[in-house]
Structure 1
Amino acid sequence: MSIDFDHSGTTLTALPSGALWWAERRLLCVADLHLGKSERLARRGGALLPPYEVQETLTRLQADIEGLGPATVICLGDSFDDDAAATGLPEGALAWIARLQAGRRWVWIAGNHDPAPLTLAGTHLGELQEGPLRFRHIAAPGACGEVSGHYHPKARLAGKARACFLFDASRVILPAYGAYTGGLWCDGPELASLMGAEARAILRGPRLHMIPMPRLRQVRARRAG
């Protein structure tokens, strides 16, 4: 199941995987893959996680690409957990990425975790204007027609945390696509200050759910009731 919504004169589609599809341009957009996170944590003395997030994330990305056949793929920054993770991926993962890139335009947007130019094939940009939409990593105050990531928004449904898309008249914020990414509650002050009063949340999962974006006052009212 997917959900279509209108944004800045375009029709965009939220996919269960967490990717955004712009059918008119055959453009697939994903945010915050954070490839190499388990390796980066181990390298820096953090938690030891099973090193399977690269395989899981690339498997999901491959399924989206094979199912939709995009002409363009945009990765909205923090595609790698840091610069060392970008250069330290196993040869098998690098070959996998190269196969996914073959025959299509591939754009790497710089993020705060991976700001330096990458050695991987593709176009490397700070941001990209595509028709009426501007793709960047971090939402900019006052922007219009913006598509971004960075915040890893999440909300609750039936008491369970779900990663989510957020959108209003000005911007779309994508959920993190990576397997080992956390999230920021969308009723918190950071996201509440960015999103308009009419903002909606599309909660990820096998079946997507669209709800009004939760606000802190709404959460408090529910708890008080």
Structure 2
Amino acid sequence: MNNVEFSFAGHQLRALGSGALWWPDQRLLCVSDLHLGKSERIARRGGSSLPPYDTRETLTRLECDLSHTKATSVICLGDSFDDLDALTALTTEDRLRIATLQAGRNWIWIEGNHDPGPVEIGGTHLSEWICSGLTFRHITQPDAMAEISGHYHPKASLNIRGRSISRPAFLLDHARLILPAYGTYTGGLRSTDQTLTRIMASDARAILTGNQPQKIPMPR
């Protein structure tokens, strides 16, 4: 399993190439911004038609990460569904897949800006969650310390042999860790955007996802 191990707030964590975060000591897998049902939501609102396989693909990758890590706890950092109607539009097959993934695991849904209310699906629904000094929430706060969040869908670029390669990325400094979007069709915000450069400390690092995840200074 491709990953980059790093220390954050006194804990050893691993950034997986898939965009998930693995906390071995807690046997906890953390993902952010699944945006399940995005293609359905876009079509419902009259947007361009996208292949309706994003939910299936996202759940398949999540199933693979759970199989490899043997995680007993899962936390989803908000925007797990593209909107509340996307939840009701899930197929019976997708609902059964989610229920199967949840079976025997402590599963926490953190509220996001796309899914602000409680969703009628198994698991625990919270605005934020604290474990061993780490705070998990959807959007980072200005006074954050030892905080893990999502929301911004960060991406970072790396120059390889004269080519600029852009990938979803984890952003990390002494106070906060921002996860990349895990879902298909989620897009991203470049780490050079002022929204992110204002949030992250000057010595922040980026961990690019993919088959060979790599830690680099955060591009600014």
Distance 2:209 2:21 in 1: 12
1:172 is the counterpart of 2:177? yes
Match of 2:143 in 1: 142
CA distance in 1, matches of 2:192, 2:21: 22
Give, as a single letter, the amino acid of the residue that structure 2 aligns with 1:170.
A
User: What runs of 5+ residues in structure 1 fail to find an aligned partner?
Assistant: 216-225
State the 1:160 CA deviation.
2.3
The residue type equivalent to 1:147 in the other structure is I
Q: Cα RMSD over matched residues?
A: 0.6
Equivalent residue number for residue 52 of structure 2: 51
Instruction: Note if contact 1:9-1:132 (Cα within 8 Å) is conserved in structure 2.
Output: no
- AA partner of residue 73 (structure 2): T
Q: 2:204 aligns with which of 176, 196, 199?
A: 199
Contact kept? 1:73, 1:107, Cα under 8 Å: yes
May I ask how many residue pairs the two structures share in their alignment?
A: 215
Structure 2: state its 5+ residue gaps.
none
Letter in 2 for 1:54: T
Q: C-alpha separation between the residues in 2 aligned to 1:81 and 1:41?
A: 9
Alignment deviations for residues 140-185 of structure 1 (CA, whole Å, 9 cap, x no partner): 0111000000000001123122100000100000000001101001
Report SS of the residue matched to 1:3: strand
Cα distance in structure 2, aligned partners of 1:72 and 1:6? 20
The normalised TM-score by structure 1 is 0.94
**Which of the two has greater strand per residue?**
2
Shift of 1:35: 0.3
Q: Which amino acid aligns with 2:66?
A: I
Task: Give the secondary structure class of the aligned counterpart of 1:77.
Answer: coil
1:61 aligns with 2:66: no
Is residue 2:122 matched to residue 1:121? yes
Question: Distance in 1 between the 2:170 and 2:215 partners?
Answer: 9
Percent sequence identity is 56
Paired letter, 1:78:
D
Q: Quick one: distance in 2 between partners of 1:160 and 1:13? A: 22
Q: Deviations over 1:52-101 (max 9, x none)?
A: 10111000000000111111100000000000001210010000000000
Looking at structure 1, the residues matched to 16 and 194 of structure 2 have their Cα atoms a distance apart, in angstroms, of 26
